[in-house]
Each structure stands twice: as structure tokens, then as C-alpha cells.
Amino acid sequence: MVGPPFARSGPQQLSVRKMLEQIQPESVDVIDFERIPDGVRRAYSLRVVRLADGSVVSIPVNVVAGLSARPCLVAVAGIHGDEGVGVEALGDLWRELDPALLNGRLIIVPIANTAAFAADARLSPLDGLDLNRVFPGSIHGSPSQQLANRLFERVLTKADFLFSMHSWSKTGEVVPYVEFDHRNPRTARTSFEAACAAGFEIVRLSWWATGLMTRVVNEAGIPGLEAEIGGLGVSRPEQKETYKRHLRALIKHLGILPGSEIKPSTPRVVRHIDLFTSCGGVLRLLTELAAPVHEGDLLAVIEDHHGNEILRIVATCAGFVGAIRRYTSVHPGDLVFRLFTDATYDEQDCRT
């Protein structure tokens, strides 16, 4: 007779059960990071707010505590509920990293926005807000605003470095890249050096929107990066492995994970131009992801339901296609392309 999983007794079974027992989450209002001993894993469910139905919104937080408390990297995924590549990558690293081999700490937030994750949506179903536009949040605000406040005040401010892990939306996909706020003189150089050390081939100069998590963390003096890998609401194995490779390189660069000397990459530095449609209809793509473009190239047409052309989308710069919409239906104002054009990062001109 074939028994259920773990039906057989033995050392392997006991080892697996012991590990599962050790990482069962503790439900808390505050995580006392200073009281976490070295060389252990700890899991927490950080309570945020009670809803009208009696349920409690919480944030999963996993800690891999190495042999010292510093440096500390905070890695966050699932801030948008339809971006799963980072969620899977962080789940793997949580299981793979040995605390006894780390010279520092890794704080993992695998799913920052659990309500949006459950709804498979970018925005929170609790209040319709984009969590990545409401930081640092408010303790007296809506669920998303309170979530941002708890995450910022009780987790992110503990970091020496922040890595925010995203994918493109369910409607499209993107070439793998990382971005940093090149205008912040307190964090720009450290963030750029980390992007190079993490092995990203494309680094985007960014001017982030008000309320974006990494921008607010930068304004608090903590360097950080925001990465984009994948899209279409799916997580492919090769995308997950790409994220893990970059994150391991970043951990080594920060001195948390021992390893051979890292040779920084020489990435392609870019700026972006977004192309939107001014009308709805049927999208006909005439180019592909990562394809080179020249100014004036015809990239797509919008047709009505009878196949009549009603709008042309033309490249406004030379560069390449960094992100592309895949849904055939489009609405007025939808983003169809993000073009990348070559740029340079000049530390002396970081405010431009």
C-alpha cells in the first residue's frame, strides 16, 4: 500500500518536519528584529488592519538571519497581485539560503499585497488603490494606505538596501531590466553600482512617481533598485531563475553571501519613452519585444471591428522595444509600447 506523504518514518521525515515547525509564522503587530538571534530563520505574519468582515490584513515577512545583523537587504515581491515571478523566486531563496553561511540578514516580503494577490490583480480589491503609489502610507488611511505605512515603518526602514521585484502587467511583457532614481544624490551612486554588480544588462534611469515604494525609501537615505522581469500574469521557470541569479549576485555584492569576487557588468543605460493609444479597437502589432526601432518606424496600427485602420502608432525615437502590449483589445489611454533609448549616467548631473 502506498501511504500519504511523510507516511514513512526515518531521519529524513523528521528533518523535514523539524524544518516546517521552525518556520511556522508568528502573528505579530511589531517585529522585534533586534531580538532575532544569529544563524536562524524566522517567519512572521505582520498584522496591519482589521476589516469589516472580521478578517485581518497581514504581511508575510521571512527573515534569514546570518551571523551578524548587518548588512541587511530587504527584498519585496507581490506589491502588485498579478506579478508572480518575484514571488516564486523569493520562495525558492527562502528555502535555499543557509543562515549559517550569511554575514548579514535577508528580510523577505514574498507577497506584499496579499489581497491583490488573491484577486490576481494589480490594484487592491479592498480600496482600488495601487499599493506602489501610496507610500509611506497612513496609519489612519484605507487598507492599502495602512499596509504601506506598516511595511515602510516596521520593515523597510530596517534595510541597508531595498530590492523591489516586479513583472510587467497581465496585458504585456518586458525585457529584463532594473531601474534606479538617478536624481537622488544620497542613493544614486550606490544603487547604480549595485545594479551593475547584480548583473543586469539593462539599467533604466528613472524619475519615480510620488508614493512609489523605492522612491520613498531612497528619500529616507536607503539605496535601492526596482526590477522588471516577465509579464502576462505568469511565472516561467527561466524568469524565476533569472531573478534568483540577480538577487544572489546582489547579496554577494552587499557582502551578505560569501563568494568569489564579483566583476560588475557594463550595462546598457537607457531612458524610456511610453507610447499610448488615443482610441480603442483591435491592436495589430508590427514589431516585437526587444526589436530595434528608428524614429518614424510604424510599430502598430489600431483597427475598428471591421478591419479598417483608425490609428497608427509610430516610434518617436530610436532605440528598441522594452515592453509591449499583448492583448489584442485596446482602450483609449492604454500603454502599447515602452521604448528604450540609449542614455548615460553622470553622477555630477544626477538631478536632471
Average pLDDT over residues 223-229: 98
Which contacts qualify for 326-329: CB closer than 8 Å, 24 or more apart?
Answer: 326/171, 326/172, 326/173, 326/231, 326/232, 327/171, 327/172, 327/283, 328/282, 328/283, 329/280, 329/281, 329/282, 329/283
Q: Is the pLDDT of residue 8 over 80?
A: no
Which residue matches cell numbers 523539524? 18
What does the pLDDT read at residue 346? Answer: 79
> For residue range 279-313, what is the model confidence (pLDDT) as tens digits?
999 999 999 999 999 999 999 999 999 999 999 99
This prediction's pTM: 0.92
> For residue range 36-52, what is the model confidence (pLDDT) as tens digits?
999 999 999 999 999 99
Which helix (H) or strand (E) segment holds residue 28: the answer is strand 26-28
Domains in the chain (CATH in brackets) are: 11-266 (3.40.630.10), 270-343 (2.40.50.100)
**Position 232: which residue type?**
L
Average pLDDT over residues 67-73: 97
